[in-house]
C-alpha cells in the first residue's frame, strides 16, 4: 500500500504564527510613537533624576545666582555633543513618556530631551503610553522593543529577560526557580517551546553563560539544548562541536550517541525488537564495479567455474541486469548446496 500523505505546517512556522498573534494581542497600542512638543513634557516626580539642570535652565539660561551654577554649567557642557548630533540627525530612539492629563511625563530619555532643547528643537519623537507603567511593564516593553531588533545578541536578550523574571518573581513573591515556562510565555508573549528554551538558557552553568556572553554561542535553540545535556562529559563534547560550527541536528546526534554509549557501559544490552531474522540481506550498492567484483570473485572460485556460463549475458553497466544476475547466482548456490 502506498504511504499515507500527511501535510503539516512546519513547527517553526506554526510557532511563529502563534507568537505573532499573541504578541500583537498583548501589546497592541503600547508602542505608539508620535511627535510631541517638548514644552508639554515634565519629569516624573517619583523617578530619581540624574540631572540637576532642568528645562527652564536651558530655555532661560542658568542664573549666576543659582547655588548649583557650577554643576549645572558642567552638565550643560556635557550635553553639547549629543545636542550637535541631534541637530544633524535628530534622535535615533524615541524617548518614552506617559500621559498625565494634558501633559506627558518622562519615563526614559531625559538626556535626549535636554539635549534637544539645546539643539533648538521644539518637538521630540516619543513613545506614548496611556498610563504610568509598572516596573514590570517597562522591562517588558524594553523586551518587545529589543526582540524586534536584529542586532541584539543572545546575551543582551538574556540579561533583559533576567530583569523581567526578577521583577516578576519579586511581585509574585515566588522563587525565580519556581517560574514555569507557561508563566514565561504569558509574560513575554512567545510560544511555549520558545519560553522553554529561554528558561533552559537562564539556568545554564557559568561555562555556557560565558560562551554566550562572548557571543561564541549565538543561537537560542542550540544554547538551550546544550544547557539541557546532563552529563558534563557529553555536554563538553557537544559544546566543542557547537563552537566548531555544528548545527542543532549534529548536536542532537552527539548527545544521543553518547547516551547510547553510556547505556552500553552500564551493561544494558540493547534489546532487539521485532521478529527474529530468518534470512540474510546482502545490502545495496550504487557502485557498478563493486557489484561486479563481488559476483566475479564468487565465480572465480574453481568449484563454481561450471556455472559461470549462466552470467555471460549480464550487462555490467545496468543495475537491473546485475541485480538479476546476483539473485540468479544465489539461487544456483542454494541448489548446489542441497
Partner 1 sequence: MAQIVVNATHKGGEGKTTNSIMLAEYVALILGLKTLIIDMDPQGNFSGRYIPMEYDPAYKGGRIPSLHPDFNPNEEGEWDGRSTIGNIFYGKEVIPYPTLIPNLEILPAHSSKLQEAEAVTKNEVLEKVHLQLKRFLELQEVQESYNVIIIDTPPSKGPLTIAAIKAATHMVIPSQMEQFSIEGIYGMLQLWKQESYAREKNKPINLIGILPNQIRDIKLHKQFLTGLRKMNGVGDYVMPHVIKKRAIYTEILVEEANPKSIFDLPKGNVARQEYESACSYIMERVLNG
Size of the chain in residues: 338
Q: Give 32 or 252: the residue with its C-beta nearer to partner 1.
A: 32
- Nearer to partner 1 by Cβ, of 15 and 73: the residue is 15
CA distance 118 to 86: 9
> CB of 168 within 8 A of CB of 139?
no
Q: Do residues 169 and 179 make contact, with C-beta atoms less than 8 angstroms apart?
A: yes
**Smallest distance, Å, CB 74 to partner 1?**
34
Cβ 204 vs Cβ 195: under 8 Å:
no
Q: CB of 31: closest distance to partner 1 in angstroms?
A: 4
Instruction: Give every CB contact of residue 299 below 8 A, 6+ residues apart in sequence.
Output: 305, 307, 308, 311, 329
Nearest to 145 by CA among 36, 28, 31: 31
Burial class (CB in 10 A: 0-12, 13-18, 19+), 122: exposed
- As measured in angstroms, the least distance from the Cβ of 57 to partner 1 is 31
Residue 21 CB, shortest distance to partner 1, in Å, is: 4
Beta pairing, strands 95-100 & 32-37: unpaired
| Per-residue CA distances from 244 to 223, 238, 240 (Å) | 14, 10, 6
Closer CB to partner 1, 125 or 228, in the complex: 125
Cβ proximity to partner 1, 116 vs 227, nearer residue: 116
Which CB sits closer to partner 1, 10 or 283? 10
Q: How far is the CB of 89 from partner 1 (least distance, A)?
A: 9
Kindly state the smallest distance separating residue 23's Cβ from partner 1, in Å: 6
C-beta closer to partner 1: residue 72 or 127: 127
* Strand bridging mode 32-37 / 123-129: antiparallel
Q: Which residues bind partner 1 (CB under 8 A)?
A: 5-9, 13-14, 16-18, 20-25, 27-33, 130, 144, 148
Amino acid at each position: 500500500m502506498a504511504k499515507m500523505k500527511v501535510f503539516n505546517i512546519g513547527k517553526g512556522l506554526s510557532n511563529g504564527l502563534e507568537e505573532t498573534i499573541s504578541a500583537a494581542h498583548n501589546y497592541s497600542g503600547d508602542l505608539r510613537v508620535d511627535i510631541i512638543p517638548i514644552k508639554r513634557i515634565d519629569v516624573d516626580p517619583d523617578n530619581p533624576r540624574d540631572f540637576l539642570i532642568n528645562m527652564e535652565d536651558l530655555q532661560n539660561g542658568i542664573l549666576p545666582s543659582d547655588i548649583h551654577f557650577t554643576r549645572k554649567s558642567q552638565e550643560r557642557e556635557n550635553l553639547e555633543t549629543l545636542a550637535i548630533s541631534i541637530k544633524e540627525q535628530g534622535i535615533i530612539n524615541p524617548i518614552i513618556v506617559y500621559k498625565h492629563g494634558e501633559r506627558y511625563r518622562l519615563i526614559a530619555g531625559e538626556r535626549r530631551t535636554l539635549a534637544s532643547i539645546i539643539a533648538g528643537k521644539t518637538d521630540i519623537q516619543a513613545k506614548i503610553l496611556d498610563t504610568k507603567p509598572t516596573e514590570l511593564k517597562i522591562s517588558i516593553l524594553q523586551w518587545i522593543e529589543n526582540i524586534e531588533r536584529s542586532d541584539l545578541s543572545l546575551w543582551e536578550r538574556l540579561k533583559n529577560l533576567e530583569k523581567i523574571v526578577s521583577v516578576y518573581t519579586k511581585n509574585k513573591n515566588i522563587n525565580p526557580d519556581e517560574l514555569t515556562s507557561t508563566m514565561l510565555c504569558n509574560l513575554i508573549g512567545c510560544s511555549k517551546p520558545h519560553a522553554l528554551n529561554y528558561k533552559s538558557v537562564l539556568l545554564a552553568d557559568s561555562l555556557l553563560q560565558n560562551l554566550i556572553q562572548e557571543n561564541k554561542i549565538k543561537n537560542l535553540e542550540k544554547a538551550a539544548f546544550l544547557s539541557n545535556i546532563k552529563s558534563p562529559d557529553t555536554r563538553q563534547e557537544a559544546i566543542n562541536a557547537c563552537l566548531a560550527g555544528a548545527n542543532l541536528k549534529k548536536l542532537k546526534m552527539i548527545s544521543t550517541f553518547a547516551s547510547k554509549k553510556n547505556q552500553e557501559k552500564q551493561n544494558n544490552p540493547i534489546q532487539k525488537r521485532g521478529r527474529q531474522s530468518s534470512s540474510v540481506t546482502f545490502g545495496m550498492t550504487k557502485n557498478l564495479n563493486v557489484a561486479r567484483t563481488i559476483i566475479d570473485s564468487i565465480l572465480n572460485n574453481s568449484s563454481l567455474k561450471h556455472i559461470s556460463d549462466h552470467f555471460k549475458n549480464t550487462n555490467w553497466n545496468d543495475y537491473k541486469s546485475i541485480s538479476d544476475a546476483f539473485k540468479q547466482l544465489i539461487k544456483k548456490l542454494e541448489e548446489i548446496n542441497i
